[in-house]
C-alpha cells in the first residue's frame, strides 16, 4: 500500500458517499445518470468476485463490501425509492455502445482466458467509460448541481491518484499492470474537460456548474 493508492481509495469512497448522501438527504436524484450508476455497480460486481475466494486484507475486504453495498444502494434509490425524480429523458446515453465493445475487448485483451480474469478485465475496461452517460447527461442539460460536481471531482481524482500509485509501484516494485494503466489513463482523460470546468467555475463559488 502506498499513499497514492490510499488517497485514491479514500477519494473513491468520498465520491460514492457524497453521491449516496446527496440523493438520500435531498430525496432526489435529479441530474444524476442512473445508467452510470448501474454501470458502476456492474464494475464492482464483476471485479470483486474474488471477495469470498481470496482474502487479501481486512481493509481490502471491507472496502470491497462498502463499494458494493453503496453502489447497489444508490441504484436502488435512483430506480426505486426516488424514481419519480429520475430524469430519464436526459439520461439517454446508449450503454449498449459501451457494453458490447468493452465485453468484446475483454475477450481479446486479457491476462488469462479464465472467467474470473475476463470478468476482471471487463470491469477495468467498463470502469474507464462508465462515467460517460453522466458526463453526456450534464452536457445535455447544460448544468449540474455543485454537489454533483464534487462527486465527479473525487471520482476523477481517485483514478488519477491510482496512476500516481502505478508510477510509484513501477519504480519501487517493478509492478506494471498494463491493462489497468492504459484503462486508467483513458478514464482520467475523460475527466480533463470536467476538471477544467470544475476549477474555473465551481471553485470560484458558483452555486451550480452551467456549461457555456
Partner 1 sequence: MDNPRKKDEL
Note the residues at the interface with partner 1 (CB under 8 A): 1, 5, 9, 12, 50, 54, 56-57, 60, 63-64, 67, 110-112, 117, 120, 162, 165, 175-180
Q: Which is nearer to partner 1, 91 or 127 (CB)?
A: 127
CB 84 → partner 1: shortest distance, Å?
34
Q: Which is nearer to partner 1, 56 or 203 (CB)?
A: 56
CB 197 → partner 1: shortest distance, Å?
27
Q: Which is nearer to partner 1, 79 or 168 (CB)?
A: 168
CB 134 → partner 1: shortest distance, Å?
20
Q: Which is nearer to partner 1, 140 or 169 (CB)?
A: 169
CB 112 → partner 1: shortest distance, Å?
6
Q: Which is nearer to partner 1, 116 or 199 (CB)?
A: 116
User: Residue 42: how many CB atoms within 10 A of its CB?
Assistant: 19
CB 110 → partner 1: shortest distance, Å?
8
What dihedral angle (degrees, nearest 10) is formed by the CA atoms of 150, 151, 157, 159?
A: -170
Task: Provide the angle, in degrees to the nearest 10, between the axes of the packed helices 132-141 and 146-173.
Answer: 150
The answer to whether residues 23 and 82 touch, using CB atoms and an 8 Å cutoff, is yes
The closest alpha carbon to 133, from 101, 179, 87, belongs to: 87
The answer to whether residues 41 and 72 touch, using CB atoms and an 8 Å cutoff, is yes
Cell of 63: 472496502
With residue 132 as reference, give the H or E element that holds it.
helix 132-141
Q: 196: buried, middle or exposed (CB in 10 Å: 19+, 13-18, 0-12)? A: exposed
Amino acid at each position: 500500500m502506498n499513499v497514492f493508492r490510499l488517497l485514491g481509495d479514500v477519494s473513491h469512497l468520498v465520491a460514492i458517499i457524497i453521491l449516496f448522501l446527496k440523493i438520500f438527504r435531498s430525496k432526489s436524484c435529479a441530474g444524476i445518470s442512473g445508467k452510470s450508476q448501474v454501470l458502476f455497480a456492474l464494475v464492482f460486481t464483476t471485479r470483486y468476485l474474488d471477495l469470498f475466494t481470496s482474502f487479501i486484507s481486512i481493509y481490502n475486504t471491507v472496502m470491497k463490501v462498502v463499494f458494493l453495498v453503496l453502489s447497489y444502494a444508490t441504484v436502488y434509490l435512483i430506480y426505486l425509492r426516488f424514481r419519480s425524480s429520475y430524469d430519464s429523458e436526459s439520461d439517454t446515453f446508449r450503454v449498449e455502445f459501451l457494453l458490447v465493445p468493452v465485453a468484446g475487448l475483454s475477450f481479446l485483451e486479457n491476462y488469462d482466458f479464465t472467467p474470473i480474469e475476463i470478468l476482471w478485465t471487463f470491469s477495468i475496461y467498463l470502469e474507464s467509460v462508465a462515467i460517460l452517460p453522466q458526463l453526456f447527461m450534464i452536457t445535455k442539460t447544460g448544468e449540474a448541481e455543485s454537489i454533483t460536481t464534487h462527486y465527479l471531482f473525487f471520482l476523477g481524482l481517485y483514478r488519477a491518484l491510482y496512476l500516481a500509485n502505478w508510477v510509484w509501484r513501477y519504480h519501487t516494485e517493478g509492478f506494471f499492470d498494463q491493462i489497468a494503466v492504459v484503462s486508467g489513463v483513458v478514464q482520467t482523460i475523460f475527466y480533463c474537460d470536467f476538471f477544467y470546468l470544475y476549477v474555473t467555475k465551481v471553485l470560484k463559488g458558483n452555486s451550480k456548474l452551467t456549461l457555456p
